[in-house]
């Protein structure tokens, strides 16, 4: 895979301690907005601002880029601070409001990664999917394949003729402004915190990708949890059925919604380790798929 062919979909920044990760902190802020006389959500906003600015100043060398992305990050934080303050006044955080709140995490990380790529001479652009859905006539109670196909078409048009690397937010914004009717649970509750993987899957289908790569903190899919079973073996290749079985029995493999979209388009999924990029990873191979380059680490 050439850099010019890559499309990057980001989630929020993480941390060695999960509770200090950006998404966890944003959910904590949403909780404390509703606690009488609690100002903890303001402290969390300060923490996230300072944390991301520290990353900028530690990683971005170009002074102009550093100033630009620092300003962008502070603007995103101030937008969210105002949103939370309004929620505090009305004393209400809906499920869809939580979607808006956690989406800030991906905007921050996408801003940062775009600057990092530009700083290293890679032509990149920030792409926010908040307003992806143009057709306001949707009135669905579930996320069905017809709607997924609509999203795939919109993504195909949005990401066509790229001469740079798009850095895309995982949040689609679809369940907040534009789908009418009682959509159950919002994007966060309907799909869960792994919705960024679903966005990447839809993009891979939209662009007829040769492979969808999902980067995690493990080398791939194991026969058991390697943190608990020392004899667990890494699976180099596995079928969608085997993946579904592992997921059913509690393995954190890949969200079924994500796998369904790419497998039906006959696109292999490679799960790789962020901390071991040279590793082969595990590849989920669609039935009947044959490729002479499948075993390369790409």
pLDDT digit string, tens, across residues 145-171: 888 898 899 999 999 877 899 999 988
Give the pLDDT confidence of 54-71 residue by residue, as tens digits. Answer: 999 999 999 999 999 999
The pLDDT of residue 70 is: 98
Instruction: Please tell me the total number of residues recorded for the chain in this structure.
Output: 298
CATH number for the domain harbouring residue 188: 3.40.1160.10
Residues 156 and 276 in one domain: no
Residues 86 and 51 in one domain: yes
**Phi, psi for 60 (deg, rounded to 5):** -95, 125
In angstroms, the CA 132 to CA 114 distance is 20
Are residues 171 and 265 part of one domain?
no
Instruction: Give the integer Cα–Cα distance in Å for 84 and 4.
Output: 39
Q: Is the same domain home to 191 and 237?
A: no
Domain count, the chain: 2
User: Do 271 and 284 reside in the same domain of the chain?
Assistant: yes
Is residue 11 located within the same domain as residue 95? yes
> Residue 158 sits in which domain range?
3-209
Of 209, 233, 265, which residue is a domain's last?
209
**Order of strands across the sheet that contains 237-238:** 212-216, 269-273, 282-284, 237-238
Residue 123 has pLDDT above 90, yes or no: yes
Residues of 112-135 as b/e, b for ≥16 C-beta within 10 angstroms? bbbbbbbbeeeebebbbbeebbee
- Taking only the tens place, the pLDDT of each residue in 77-98 is 999 999 999 999 999 998 888 8
pLDDT for position 1: 46
The verdict on 120 and 267 lying in the same domain is no
Q: What is the pLDDT of residue 186?
A: 64
Q: Are residues 194 and 234 located together in one domain of the fold? A: no
pTM of the model: 0.87
My answer on whether 195 and 216 are in the same domain is no
């Amino acid at each position: 895979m050439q850099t010019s062919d890559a499309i990057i979909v980001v989630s929020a920044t993480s941390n060695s301690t999960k509770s200090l990760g950006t998404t966890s902190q944003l959910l904590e802020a949403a909780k404390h907005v509703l606690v009488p006389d609690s100002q903890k959500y303001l402290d969390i906003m300060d923490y996230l601002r300072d944390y991301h600015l520290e990353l900028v100043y530690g990683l971005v060398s170009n002074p102009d880029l550093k100033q630009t992305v620092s300003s962008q990050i502070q603007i995103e934080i101030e937008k969210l601070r105002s949103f939370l303050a309004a929620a505090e006044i009305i004393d209400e955080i809906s499920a869809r409001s939580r979607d808006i709140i956690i989406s800030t995490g991906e905007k921050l990380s996408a801003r940062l990664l775009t600057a990092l790529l530009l700083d290293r001479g890679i032509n990149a652009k920030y792409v926010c999917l908040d307003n992806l859905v143009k057709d306001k006539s949707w009135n669905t109670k579930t996320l069905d394949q017809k709607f997924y196909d609509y999203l795939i078409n919109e993504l195909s048009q949005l990401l066509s003729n790229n001469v740079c690397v798009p850095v895309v937010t995982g949040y689609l914004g679809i369940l907040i402004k534009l789908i009418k009717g009682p959509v159950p649970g919002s994007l966060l509750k309907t799909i869960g915190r792994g919705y960024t993987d679903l966005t990447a899957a839809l993009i891979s289908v939209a662009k007829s990708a040769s492979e969808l790569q999902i980067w995690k903190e493990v080398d791939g899919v194991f026969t058991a949890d390697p943190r608990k079973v020392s004899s667990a073996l890494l699976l180099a290749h596995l079928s969608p059925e085997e993946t579904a079985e592992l997921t059913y029995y509690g393995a954190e493999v890949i969200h079924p919604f994500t796998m369904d979209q790419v497998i039906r388009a006959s696109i292999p999924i490679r799960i790789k380790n962020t901390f071991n990029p040279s590793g082969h990873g595990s590849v989920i191979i669609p039935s009947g798929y044959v490729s002479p380059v499948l075993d390369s680490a790409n």
